[in-house]
Chain A
Amino acid sequence: MDFELMISSLPKLLNASLITLKLLTASLIFGLFIGLFFAILRVNKNLIINKFAYGYSYIFRGTPLLVQIFIIYFGLGQIEYLRSTVLWVILKEPYWCAIIAFSLNTGAYTSEILRSAFQTIKPGIIEAGQSLGISSKIIFFKIQIPIAIRQSLPAYGNEIILMMKGTSLASTVTLMDLTGVAKYIISTTFKPIEVFIVAGGIYLFMTFIIHNVIKFLERKYSY
């Protein structure tokens, strides 16, 4: 064990975990909106809208994240027509490709989590709102959504942790995130065990924080 290497690589790895956190935060924010949007479509009675939303979540939950990020980064980059459009400004950057892939992926899982939360809301609660003469729009935004979010907290916490670990795939599209920098250090020192232990420790620490924040929120909003 080369403890010196472990200590000297720590600052570089901590610095790189900022990129990991940036990717995670951006993907979660976009993913939450995407997820909420598709969850609303999923509880829609219209069959076409419903199937469309189902198809999206089926595709993105049914294929590996690595494949998705490769299709978006290397795959779309091969389409010559696309390179002449404005879209290329975004797709040219590995950073945005990674965020697009992560957001669409976590959005699919989030939509399923929220959908099941919507469906567990007891009809009595909605009926109570209706009997007070509250409009169905307000019932949806002020009653259904808050309850659904509370219901989905434990499952969503899991999704955040999974996504956090998923960001390690950003290194496959040249981003120097925590895993990317760990691999870079290994490529010059040839000592994978030491460096990966430190990197793994940082991931574990991030999980620890996320886990506790979710636990705190669960307790705060329990009823």
Chain B
Amino acid sequence: MNIIKKFSLGVLITLFLSFSANADKIKIGTEGAYPPWNSKDASGKLIGFEVELAWTLCRYIGQQCEIVEQDWDGMIPALIMRKFDAIMAGMSITAERQKAISFSQGYADEVASLAVMKGSSLEGMDTPAGINLTKPNAAAKKALKTLTNALAGKTVCVQTATIHQNFLDSGDVGKVNVRTYKTQDEVNLDLASGRCDAALAAAVAFSDYAEKSGKPVVLVGPTFSGGAFGNGVGVGIRKDDTELLNAFNKAIDKARKNGDISRIATKWFGFDASM
């Protein structure tokens, strides 16, 4: 009996200690499936731009951190339900998401692009190199029209709950057949298999896939930014957690001033994606 008592007490104390040890750790959620933003190495360890940046930001905040993995489609609900305290998962700051959570200032930005397999009829569209959708100018509007005609009746694949899906659903490029996937990996697989006529994601996600898989994936059309594509990627934080939001904003300021963000971004993207 005594042993059982001692044992249970021991268990309780251990549990208590582990809880209290966790209490002042900032938990950061990431997907681990969106290279080069965040991904996993062969041993299953989380790596990528945001993983490295997260450790840097935590050092500036001066608090211990823990990075946890979360499927993309449950990212915001998991944050709201306190599974973790911050999101760093290549999540663009959009008005729609800001209804549910707060965002820190942006730390990096990327452009989105359509991709097809080499030899597709969508290659060689006559569009500008990049268009901004926040205030589309005449050239941008013309490009959207070109895209609308080219994509009519085509199947375009995107990861679910992304800015890319929002853009296709918005009707800016007409009524395309949108197919949604749980991860970007699956989008890439189906683009390569020919089930998708085109795919839309961060341009770097495609170049990363083309490089690693050796598949002839090519970017077509203009790169997209602004509008449905949001205003850069920031740290997602619960609305009532203003203290943590301020801490992250200050840490991002410091990291930017010291050149940490551009250094890490250049390392993972191959160019300076910081903002």
Contact = CB atoms under 8 A, between A and B. Distances in A.
Interface of A: 74, 77-78, 83, 92, 94, 172, 174, 183-184, 186-188, 190-192
A164 B195 CA distance: 26
A129 B140 CA distance: 81
Contacts, number: 43
Interface band, chain B = 20 to 34
Contact of B182 (A83, A172, A190, A191): A172
B180 A174 contact: yes
A108 B37 CA distance: 43
Closest 7 CB pairs of A and B: A187-B161, A77-B193, A190-B100, A190-B76, A174-B179, A192-B77, A74-B189
Interface string B185-227: 0100110111100000000000000000000000000000000
B194 A187 contact: no
Contacts of B126: none
Nearest to A189: B100
Contacts of B192: 78
A78 B182 contact: no
Specify the main secondary structure of chain A where it touches its partner.
Answer: helix
Interface of B: 73-74, 76-77, 80, 96, 100-101, 157, 160-161, 165, 179-182, 186, 189-190, 192-195
B225 to A, nearest CB: 21
A77 B189 contact: yes
Given A74-B186, A172-B182, A174-B181, A188 B161 contact: yes
B39 to A, nearest CB: 19
Given A183-B73, A187-B73, 12 more contacts: A74-B189, A74-B190, A74-B193, A77-B190, A94-B179, A94-B195, A172-B182, A174-B157, A174-B179, A186-B73, A190-B76, A190-B80
Instruction: Find the residue from A74, A174, A184, A188 having the highest chain B CB count within 10 A.
Output: A174
A172 B157 CA distance: 14
Given A74-B189, A77-B193, A191 B77 contact: yes
A187 B96 CA distance: 10
A77 B195 contact: yes
Contacts of B195: 77, 92, 94
B77 A92 contact: no
Nearest to A187: B161
